[in-house]
């Protein structure tokens, strides 16, 4: 081998991207161990206990409908967006604005890590969702709610639940 022929190996992608991908996989694996999929009525009771019934004019059925279409009632749901942001938890709260992931340049308006939104006890998730709902769009901030719940009869979402 000649002295001048050796060149350092180039990474197929920047190390930051590799680190982000590894962290996402690791957080998904860690959250999977603690994830919980609620039943419809169980979730309605928990959300009622947290005071979401009537919060900002939204019914408990609105929140349950949102949770179903956002995550299938799965607290450990994580969806990765093309822009590098993630949607986390039962309400699929996005890291672009509301929670902190690996990107230090996000507003983090809920003042929490996105991984906190994967906790099955839902306390942090509800706190953040209440903050998001204070935005002028309210639940309209969620595309899932706008497309599947808004303006519809949602009584079936809590029908038969002992609330």
What's 45's domain CATH number?
A: 1.10.530.10
Confidence at residue 146, expressed as pLDDT on a 0 to 100 scale: 98
Q: Per DSSP, what are the bridge partners of residue 100? A: 113
Enumerate helices (H) and strands (E) in the chain, giving the number of each. 5, 3
Model confidence, pTM: 0.80
DSSP state letters, 18-77: HHHHHHHHHHHHHHHHH--B--HHHHHHHHHHTT-TTGGG--HHHHHHHHHHHHTTBTT-
Domain that holds residue 140: 40-154
Confidence at residue 103, expressed as pLDDT on a 0 to 100 scale: 82
**Residue 57 within any structural domain of the chain:** yes
**Residue 19 within any structural domain of the chain:** no
Confidence at residue 102, expressed as pLDDT on a 0 to 100 scale: 82
Confidence of residue 27 (pLDDT cuts 50, 70, 90): low
- What is the number of domains present in the chain? 1
**Residue 30 within any structural domain of the chain:** no
In 3D space, the residue among 136, 147, 148, 145 whose CA is nearest the CA of residue 63 turns out to be 145
Confidence at residue 144, expressed as pLDDT on a 0 to 100 scale: 98
Is residue 129 within 8 A of residue 122, CB to CB? The reply is: no
**Residue 21 within any structural domain of the chain:** no
**Residue 121 within any structural domain of the chain:** yes
**Residue 31 within any structural domain of the chain:** no
**CB 3: neighbour CB atoms within 10 A?**
5
């Amino acid at each position: 081998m000649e002295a001048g022929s050796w060149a350092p190996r180039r990474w197929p992608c920047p190390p930051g991207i590799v680190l982000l991908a590894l962290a996402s996989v690791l957080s998904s694996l860690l959250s999977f161990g603690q994830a919980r999929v609620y039943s419809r009525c169980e979730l309605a009771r928990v959300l009622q206990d947290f005071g979401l019934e009537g919060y900002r004019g939204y019914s408990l059925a609105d929140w349950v409908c949102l949770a179903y279409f956002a995550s299938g009632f799965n607290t450990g749901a994580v969806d990765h967006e093309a822009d590098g942001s993630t949607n986390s938890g039962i309400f699929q709260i996005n890291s672009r604005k509301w929670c902190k992931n690996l990107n230090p340049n996000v507003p983090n308006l809920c003042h929490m890590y996105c991984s906190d939104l994967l906790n099955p006890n839902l306390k942090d998730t509800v706190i953040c969702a209440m903050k998001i709902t204070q935005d002028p769009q309210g639940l309209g901030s969620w595309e899932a709610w706008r497309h599947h719940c808004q303006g519809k009869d949602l009584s079936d979402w809590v029908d038969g639940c002992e609330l």
